[in-house]
Amino acid sequence: MDQMTIYLILAGVFGLFMAWGIGANDVANAMATSVGSRALTLKQAVILAAIFEFAGAYLAGGEVTKTIRKGIVEADAFTADPNLLIWGMLAALLAAGTWLAIASRKGWPVSTTHSIVGAVVGFAAVGVGMDAVNWGKVGTIVMSWVVSPLLAGTLAFLVFKSIQKLILNSDNPVESSIKFGPIYLFMVGFLIAMVTIKKGLKHIGLDLDTEQAFLYSTLLGVAVAFLGSYLIRKVKTDPKADKKFHYTNVERIFAVLMIFTASAMAFAHGSNDVANAVGPMAAVISTAQSGLIASKSALPGWVLLVGGIGIVIGLATFGYKVIATVGKSITELTPSRGFAAEIAAAATVVLASFTGIPISTTHTLVGAVLGVGIARGIGAIDMRVVGNIFMSWVVTLPAGGLLAILFFFTFKGIFS
């Protein structure tokens, strides 16, 4: 077997393993608010997650993949010896995978995104040289890690305030939720369709101009709104149920509305996180095949397909258990809050995917939950856990980096 074949096999195995890990672990965090608020049964959650994670990864995962693949490193630094990039990206995948395995065994809240970015920066900066890293890009990414939870939090705050005003505080909250619910769904459907059409359909052979994109997104948004409207009208409301808790019926309607935001969340997660697995993999494959850094080369569509399939396998083999555990432990979140948090988080993550910035879905969702909390909508949020989650990247970045450096020099020793 020649070395290129070995590289391809290793890249495939490591990439699939990372995708599997994302499906097994991270999807649960993205779906946690849905299952926790009893909006979905476990089976429904897993099926929806599988469909929309895959769709997100395949249709909208391209931009972030491009960033991980060739945005963080400076292609020029590798033209002399393209092997450095192959070893480095393999090392990055292995490092991120190892770190995630350690962290999840210990129960540490670490992000796949932080691990992989730390790993790629690590091998490039130390293994190759400081000028092998596109520091401007890295700066933008790190800034976005601060901005994304803030943005999601602000959006969640505003969405929840609007739900308060339009629905919860109206004279007839049940009627208002039937009236206004579909409008929120329209926005979700429109946004996701827009991102997909603008960025995702090229590699499956469809190329639409802005006007068409706008038209089709509107159509899809309207279709989603109508479907939602149909479903919430079918919800059986029981006035007696409101005796003890006056908002029981409204929450039942939100539980149905939340099926849509949960799907959006899964789509958003797939679109942003698939890159963590297939970004380095794509870099190895294109370099190994062409023998040089093809900075102009397009991303092969099947790479995203592999990533999407990997995530679904992870979800099917292991992720469903984690989702069940998470669902059981979150009991304090009602559907209306989950709805607000998920709309905000999904919108933020999808926007990041659109611009090609790898962000942490979990951080974004935590930011959104805090936004609802600031609007006085959640009984209790444990700030110590929130603090741990937010601070985790301070450890994860160097950890991913150090492991990547270690593996990089190991590969260099073995293969050269």
Partner 1 sequence: MAKGGYMSGIFGSSPVSPLQQHMSKVYKCAQELVPLFNAVINEDWGEVARLNQVISDLENEADDLKKELRLNLPKGLFMPVNRQDLLEVLLMQDKIANKAKDISGLILGRHLKLPECIHEDYIRFVERCVAAVKQARKAINEFDELVETGFSGREVEIVTEMITRLDEIESDTDTLQADIFAEIFTIEETLPPIQVMFLYKVIEQTGDIADHAENVGSRLQLMLAR
Residues contributing to the site for partner 1 (CB under 8 A):
21, 24-26, 28-29, 32-33, 36, 101, 104-105, 107-109, 160-161, 164-165, 168-169, 245-247, 318, 322-323, 325-326, 329-334, 336, 362, 365-366, 369-370, 373, 375-387, 389
Of 25 and 217, which CB lies nearer to partner 1 in the complex structure? 25
Beta strand residue intervals within 183-317, DSSP E: none
Residue number with CB closer to partner 1 (169 or 290): 169
Q: How far is the CB of 174 from partner 1 (least distance, A)?
A: 14
Closest approach, Cβ 326 to partner 1, in A, equals 4
Burial class (CB in 10 A: 0-12, 13-18, 19+), 377: buried
Residue 32 beta carbon to partner 1: minimum distance, rounded to whole angstroms: 4
Task: Judge whether 396 and 111 are in contact, CB under 8 Å.
Answer: yes
Q: Among residues 90 and 250, whose Cβ is nearest to partner 1?
A: 250
Q: Which amino acid is at 142?
A: V
φ, ψ dihedrals at 139, nearest 5°:
-60, -45
Token pair recorded at residue 214? 């706008």
73 DSSP β-pair partners: 133
Q: How far is the CB of 95 from partner 1 (least distance, A)?
A: 17
Give me 253's structure tokens.
């309607």
Q: Find out whether 52 and 285 touch, Cβ atoms under 8 Å.
A: no
Closest CB to partner 1 among residues 75, 264 = 264
Q: Smallest gap, in angstroms, from Cβ of residue 29 to partner 1?
A: 4
Distance CA 220, CA 260 (A): 13
Q: How far is the CB of 379 from partner 1 (least distance, A)?
A: 3
Q: Which of 80, 98, 26 is nearest to 275 (CA)?
A: 26
Instruction: Report d(CA 335, CA 261) in Å as an integer.
Output: 10
Task: Report the residue number, 128 or 333, with the smaller CB distance to partner 1.
Answer: 333
Please say which residue, 210 or 388, places its beta carbon nearer to partner 1.
388
Query: DSSP assignment, residue 219?
Result: H
Query: 245 or 415, CB closer to partner 1?
Result: 245
Minimum distance of partner 1 from residue 22's CB (angstroms)? 12
Residues near 201 by Cβ (< 8 Å), separated by ≥ 6? 59, 207, 208
Query: Whose Cβ is closer to partner 1: residue 33's or residue 144's?
Result: 33
Taking the complex as a whole, the smallest distance from the CB of residue 112 to partner 1 amounts, in Å, to 12
Q: Are 31 and 321 in contact (CB under 8 A)?
A: no
CB of 402 to partner 1, least distance (A): 21
Q: How many CB atoms lie within 10 A of CB 15?
A: 27
CA distance 167 to 177: 6
Show the tokens assigned to 261: 């935001």
The span from the first CA to the last CA of the chain, in angstroms, equals 15
Q: Which two tokens stand for residue 184?
A: 């929120």
If the CB atoms of residues 41 and 331 are measured against partner 1, the closer one turns out to be 331
